[in-house]
């Protein structure tokens, strides 16, 4: 597979809780490597690219425990030896970038959103229901449930539905 890319098509984006305002000091860093505006077959093309990156970064001393994770959106997981930060890298997950932007907007609408989300995420983790690898809820799902509650479970609602506001 050869990709002819212009610099306008490429970018490395920090996504997830590191960017949406809903992370903590112990959060990992999720990153998305956008190689093209076109769709990439996650099962084959993205996996192939991540395995190539795995082979290359494994040669460097600053990378600890690199591993390829098979998933709907495959992940290259590694730890930066210097900072100790765990990194999850995916390829061309544009939806993840948009979801990060949406959750960032929600986290800025009301000052109470971030602390509530952090408490609920911690509670869920301590009760063993916030680990997508073990087929429980992902952090993203937990955050969506908190947002839904703040939109429809409170009277008056704490958060608006931004998708409706933006139309």
Residue 125 and residue 15: Cα distance in Å, rounded?
Answer: 20
Give the predicted TM-score (pTM) of the model: 0.83
Give the model's pLDDT for residue 164: 79
The CA-atom distances, in angstroms, between 12 and each of 56, 82, 137 are 17, 20, 26
Q: Which residue has the tokens 């704490």?
A: 158
Among 56, 94, 57, 87, which residue's Cα sits nearest to residue 73? 94
Q: What's the mean pLDDT in 54-73? A: 93
66-73, Cβ contacts within 8 angstroms, sequence gap of 24 or more: 72/42, 73/42, 73/46
Cis peptide before 144 (omega within 30 of 0): no
pLDDT band for 2, please (50, 70, 90 cuts): very low
pLDDT band for 9, please (50, 70, 90 cuts): low
Residue 81 and residue 102: Cα distance in Å, rounded?
Answer: 31
| Percentage of the chain exceeding pLDDT 70 | 93
Residue 5 has pLDDT above 60, yes or no: no
Among 3-7, 56-60, 110-114, the minimum mean pLDDT is found in 3-7
CA 67 and chain centroid, separation: 17
Q: With left for phi above 0 and alpha for psi between -120 and 50, is residue 65 left, alpha or beta?
A: left
pLDDT band for 8, please (50, 70, 90 cuts): low
Give the model's pLDDT for residue 61: 92
**What is the chain's mean pLDDT, rounded?**
90
What domains can be seen in the chain, in order of their start residue? 1-93 (3.30.460.10), 110-167 (no CATH)
The single-letter DSSP state of residue 127 is: T
Give the model's pLDDT for residue 152: 96
The per-residue pLDDT for range 64-101, each reduced to its tens digit, is: 999 999 988 999 999 999 999 999 999 999 999 999 99
């Amino acid at each position: 597979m050869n990709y002819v890319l212009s610099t306008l098509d490429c970018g490395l984006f920090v996504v997830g809780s590191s960017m949406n305002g809903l992370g903590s000091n112990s959060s990992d860093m999720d990153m998305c490597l956008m190689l093209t505006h076109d769709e990439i077959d996650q099962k084959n093309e993205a996996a192939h690219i991540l395995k190539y990156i795995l082979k290359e970064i494994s040669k460097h001393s600053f990378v600890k425990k690199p591993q390829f994770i098979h998933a709907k959106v495959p992940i290259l997981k590694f730890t930066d030896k210097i900072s100790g930060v765990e990194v999850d890298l995916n390829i061309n997950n544009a939806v993840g970038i948009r979801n990060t932007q949406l959750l960032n907007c929600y986290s800025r609408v009301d000052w109470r959103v971030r602390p509530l989300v952090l408490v609920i995420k911690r509670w869920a983790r301590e009760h063993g229901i916030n680990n997508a690898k073990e087929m429980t809820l992902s952090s993203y799902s937990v955050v969506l449930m908190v947002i839904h509650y703040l939109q429809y479970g409170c009277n008056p609602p704490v958060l608006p539905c931004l998708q409706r506001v933006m139309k």
